[in-house]
């Protein structure tokens, strides 16, 4: 779909933390329905890049566009209001490495909080939607449980349901399986695989090479704050062009 | 001690209880406002609050209640003893509560706030729905501990003539010429009050912690 | 609130500040009494607290219980009612003390309970293996406690002990109610003699504040020393 407006686009994003330049002129195009995985060694800036997309980190320079509309910053460069930014964020779901469920809410309350308070859904509507999603991630029976009683994999699946319940246009994943015990990684990846198949638009920062190779439409490889390669998975894994990517793959793949 | 004296004792106890209760109930939200104001990073205000809290922590209640009761009328604020007493306890407990609130605010997990931002919640809603309920539970032991300290410091208001549970023992012994029984009785009543508060704290903590392992 | 009055009467009334200045020796006597009460009661409460914490760790259950009852009992009482007991109550039993003695004794007995509870908390955090190791090397009794256990308890609980020091300083002010001539007593006398109601108390609060800052500074240094030795909370 070359003519379609990208679901999400980043243009020339830069970010420094003090002296350290973590992102240098990053650009990224995510087309509707695509799943993009962002790979790279730790410290490459990939998580910071992802967090710039919904302005959890404010990029120093550059633009983010959600379905063509600016996020976080107006065209003249000024930051938007808290309220306006919240509206954009409501259209992008995010799943964190450390789940970040709200411990004082039950599973169901975690999932319906934002749909009722931010989108203004009635409680019945939100509950119906949430129950469907909890069933989909295989946790229908956990709806009234508090997060402390869940395993890491279950927590992460609730976090995915929480993000999905907003019916977002794009889902951002920040190393969603890195904090999990190895035996729990599979259940989370399976849910993500299903979402990709259903045509959900996703940007996934990950270390799971299998997922990147089999599920994603495109791979973005970052190192030291820049995008080094950008290719379909078959090409990236089969025939990496740069020496940095070759070294990375020889170590992790 | 006769019936009249017992009645005096109980009325002194009641004075201690209600004056302390007002200070505690008011001091918790006031402390929250002061504590948040201190970390808000508003240039002059945050420094002023830090100074106020530092001085407030160092000021004995006896000195403060004298300052307010004797000093405020001079600057055109007429204040009766009971108001001065309540105000003293309120200001004092609020400074300690401010530090408790500040510390639970500063140790609140960032990730939960980010998760709320990521689903489009705004500052007010994040504070009300996500932070405040959890901060309240985290602050509860500290706030209750401070409340018992307040009750134990409350006899300071006797110095300006309020007949609280401590001062009433003077009144009773002026009638009976036997100071020991009313003092011991007052001590026992204080113990009952404090023990009740410790008990309440355990009940509240148990109830508040249903969502933590 | 009348701001003109405030600025006139507090900040720009040299006559009233002159009274305070003329009465400065009185403030200093009160302040030095406050500091003396504080210093003596800190040492006393600390020594007694160290004894009580040993009672609470005793192998004899009734000794343990006695320590517990003492500590919990004091912690449920306001300091002032305890001072009342010593100064106004005990003469009924034929025990008479000056206000100064009663006040000082009150501070020591009362705060020893708090010190003991703080030390007990720190002791329960101490790995058991350490005292065993010390025992294996032949340490025992008071020597074991003083040389091995106590220094760690003090360093490990420096911030909480520091808070307790501040409470002790502030509790000295209660003693003016039983006629001890401390700093607050001095401020109140100046106030009532000359009817300058604000300045004396502002001066007194300033002196309490400076003392508290000094205590906090000292505690900070001890805490830093403790962390260097790997003790206490980071």
The more confidently predicted of residues A7 and B72 is A7
Minimum CA–CA partner of B198 in chain C? C76
The answer to the question of residue C180 being in a domain is yes
C-alpha distances in angstroms, C130 versus C59, C123, C134, C157, C226? Answer: 18, 11, 6, 17, 17
C-alpha distances in angstroms, C143 versus B1, C135, C151? Answer: 50, 10, 12
* Nearest in space to B88 (alpha carbons), one of B118, B115, B63, B119: B63
The answer to the question of residue C200 being in a domain is yes
Q: Which domain holds residue C184?
A: 23-123+138-228
- Residue B55 contacts A, CB cutoff 8 Å: no
Are the C-beta atoms of residues C79 and C41 closer than 8 Å to each other?
no
DSSP class of residue A208? -
What the block records as the tokens of A147 is 């997060």
User: Listing from the earlier edge strand, what are the strands of the sheet with A8-17?
Assistant: A20-30, A8-17, A61-66, A69-71
* Nearest in space to A249 (alpha carbons), one of A204, A193, A207, A205: A207
HEC profile of C80-133: HHHHHHHHHHHHHHCCCCCHHHHHHHHHHHHHHHHHHHHHHHHHHHCCHHHHHH
The answer to the question of residue C31 being in a domain is yes
- Residue C164 contacts B, CB cutoff 8 Å: no
Per-residue confidence band for C9, with pLDDT thresholds at 50, 70 and 90: low
Q: Is the pLDDT of residue C231 over 70?
A: no
Q: Which of B66, B179, B190 sits opposite C89 (nearest CB)?
A: B179
Q: What is the pLDDT of residue C234?
A: 39
- Residue A89 contacts B, CB cutoff 8 Å: yes
The answer to the question of residue C128 being in a domain is no
Q: What is the pLDDT of residues B171-199, one digit of tens each?
A: 999 999 999 999 999 999 999 999 999 99
The CATH number covering residue C92 comes to 1.10.3720.10
- Residue B150 contacts A, CB cutoff 8 Å: no
- Give chain A's end-to-end CA distance (angstroms, integer): 31
CATH of domain B16-162: 1.10.3720.10
Q: What is the mean pLDDT of chain C?
A: 88
The more confidently predicted of residues C11 and A42 is A42
Would you put residue C195 in left (φ > 0), alpha (ψ -120 to 50) or beta? left
Question: Cβ contacts (< 8 Å) between B195 and chain C: which residues?
Answer: 76
The answer to the question of residue C164 being in a domain is yes
C-alpha distances in angstroms, C158 versus A29, B104, B177, C224? Answer: 56, 21, 45, 10
Q: Is the pLDDT of residue A2 over 60?
A: no
Q: Is the pLDDT of residue C100 over 70?
A: yes
The more confidently predicted of residues A84 and B206 is A84
**ipTM score here?**
0.92
CA angle A95, A101, A102 (to 5 degrees): 140
Q: Is the pLDDT of residue B60 over 50?
A: yes
Q: What is the pLDDT averaged over residues A209-215?
A: 93
Q: What is the pLDDT of residue C40?
A: 97
Q: What is the pLDDT of residues A121-161, one digit of tens each?
A: 999 999 999 999 999 999 999 999 999 999 999 999 999 99
Q: Residue C101, Cα to own-chain centre: how many angstroms?
A: 16
- Reduced to 3 states (helix: H, G, I; strand: E, B; else coil), residue A73 is strand
**What's the structural domain count of chain C?**
1
Q: Is the pLDDT of residue C123 over 90?
A: no
Q: Residue C149, Cα to own-chain centre: how many angstroms?
A: 23
CB proximity list for C58: less than 8 A, separation 6 or greater: C64, C67
**What percent of chain C lies above the pLDDT cut of 90?**
59
What the block records as the tokens of A238 is 């089969």
Subunits close to C (at least 3 CB pairs below 8 A): B
- Reduced to 3 states (helix: H, G, I; strand: E, B; else coil), residue B106 is helix
Q: What is the pLDDT of residue C198?
A: 85
- Return the residue matching tokens 């600025």: C7
The answer to the question of residue C114 being in a domain is yes
Per-residue confidence band for C8, with pLDDT thresholds at 50, 70 and 90: low
What the block records as the tokens of A94 is 């995010």
Q: What is the pLDDT of residues A164-205, one digit of tens each?
A: 999 999 999 999 999 999 999 999 999 999 999 999 999 999
Q: What is the pLDDT of residues A67-116, one digit of tens each?
A: 999 999 988 889 999 999 999 999 999 999 999 999 999 999 999 999 99
Sorted by where each begins, the domain ranges of chain B are 16-162
- Return the residue matching tokens 């004091």: C74
- Rounded to the nearest 5°, which phi and psi values hold at A227? -80, 115
Q: What is the pLDDT averaged over residues B21-36?
A: 96
Comparing A212-221, B72-81, B109-118, the range with the smallest average pLDDT is: B72-81
- Residue B123 contacts A, CB cutoff 8 Å: yes
Q: Is the pLDDT of residue B134 over 50?
A: yes
């Amino acid at each position: 779909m070359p003519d379609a407006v990208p679901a999400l686009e980043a243009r020339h994003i830069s970010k420094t933390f003090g002296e350290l330049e973590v992102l240098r002129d990053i650009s990224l195009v995510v087309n509707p329905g695509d799943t993009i995985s962002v790979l790279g060694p730790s410290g490459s800036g990939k998580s910071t890049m992802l967090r710039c997309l919904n302005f959890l980190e404010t990029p120093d320079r550059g633009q983010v566009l959600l379905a063509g509309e600016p996020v976080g910053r107006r065209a003249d460069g000024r930051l938007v209001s808290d309220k306006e930014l919240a509206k954009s964020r409501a259209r992008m779901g995010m799943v964190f490495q450390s789940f970040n469920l709200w411990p004082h809410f039950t599973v169901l309350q975690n999932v319906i909080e934002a749909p009722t308070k931010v989108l203004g859904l009635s409680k019945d509507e939100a509950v119906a939607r949430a129950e469907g999603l909890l069933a989909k991630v295989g946790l229908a029976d956990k709806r009234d449980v508090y997060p402390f009683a869940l395993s890491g994999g279950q927590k992460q699946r609730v976090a995915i349901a929480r993000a999905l319940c907003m019916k977002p246009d794009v889902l951002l994943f920040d190393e969603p399986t890195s904090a999990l015990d190895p035996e729990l990684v599979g259940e989370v990846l399976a849910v993500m695989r299903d979402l990709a198949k259903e045509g959900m638009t996703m940007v996934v920062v990950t270390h799971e090479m299998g997922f990147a190779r089999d599920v994603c439409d495109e791979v973005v490889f970052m190192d030291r704050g820049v995008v080094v390669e950008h290719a379909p998975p078959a090409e990236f894994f089969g025939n990496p062009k740069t020496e940095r990517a070759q070294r990375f793959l020889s170590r992790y793949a | 001690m006769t019936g009249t004296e017992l009645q005096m004792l109980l009325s002194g106890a009641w004075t201690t209880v209600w004056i302390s209760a007002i200070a505690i109930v008011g001091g918790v939200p006031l402390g929250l406002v002061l504590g948040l104001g201190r970390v808000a990073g508003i240039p002059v205000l945050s420094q002023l609050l830090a100074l106020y809290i530092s001085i407030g922590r160092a000021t004995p209640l006896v000195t403060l209640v004298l300052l307010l009761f004797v000093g405020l009328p001079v600057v055109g604020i007429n204040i009766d003893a009971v108001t001065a007493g309540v105000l003293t306890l309120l200001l004092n407990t609020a400074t300690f509560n401010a530090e408790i609130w500040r510390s639970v605010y500063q140790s609140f997990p960032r990730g939960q706030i980010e998760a709320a931002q990521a689903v489009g919640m705004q500052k007010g809603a994040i504070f009300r729905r996500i932070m405040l309920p959890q901060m309240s539970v985290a602050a509860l032991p500290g706030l209750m501990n401070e409340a018992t300290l307040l009750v134990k410091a409350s006899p300071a208001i006797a110095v300006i003539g309020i007949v609280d549970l401590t001062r009433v023992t003077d009144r009773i012994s002026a009638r009976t010429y036997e100071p020991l029984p009313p003092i011991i009785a007052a001590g026992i009543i204080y113990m009952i009050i404090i023990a009740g508060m410790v008990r309440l704290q355990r009940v509240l903590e148990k109830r508040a912690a249903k969502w933590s392992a | 609130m009348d701001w003109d009055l405030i600025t006139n009467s507090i900040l720009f009334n040299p006559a009233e500040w002159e009274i305070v200045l003329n009465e400065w020796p009185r403030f200093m006597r009160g302040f030095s009494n406050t500091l003396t009460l504080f210093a003596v009661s800190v040492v006393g409460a600390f020594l007694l607290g160290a004894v009580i914490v040993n009672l609470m760790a005793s192998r004899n259950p009734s000794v343990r219980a006695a320590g517990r009852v003492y500590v919990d009992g004091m912690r449920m009482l306001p300091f002032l009612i305890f001072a009342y007991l010593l100064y106004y109550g005990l003469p009924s039993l034929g025990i008479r003390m000056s206000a100064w003695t009663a006040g000082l004794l009150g501070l020591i007995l009362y705060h020893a309970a708090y010190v003991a509870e703080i030390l007990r908390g720190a002791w329960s955090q101490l790995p058991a293996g350490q005292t065993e190791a010390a025992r294996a090397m032949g340490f025992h009794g008071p020597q074991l406690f003083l040389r091995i256990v106590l220094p760690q308890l003090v360093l490990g609980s420096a911030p909480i002990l520091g808070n307790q020091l501040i409470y002790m300083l502030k509790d000295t002010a209660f003693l003016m109610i039983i006629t001890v001539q401390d700093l607050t007593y001095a401020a109140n006398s100046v106030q009532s003699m000359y009817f300058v109601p604000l300045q004396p108390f502002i001066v007194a609060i300033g002196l309490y504040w400076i003392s508290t800052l000094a205590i906090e500074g000292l505690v900070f240094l001890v805490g830093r020393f403790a962390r260097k030795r790997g003790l206490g909370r980071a």
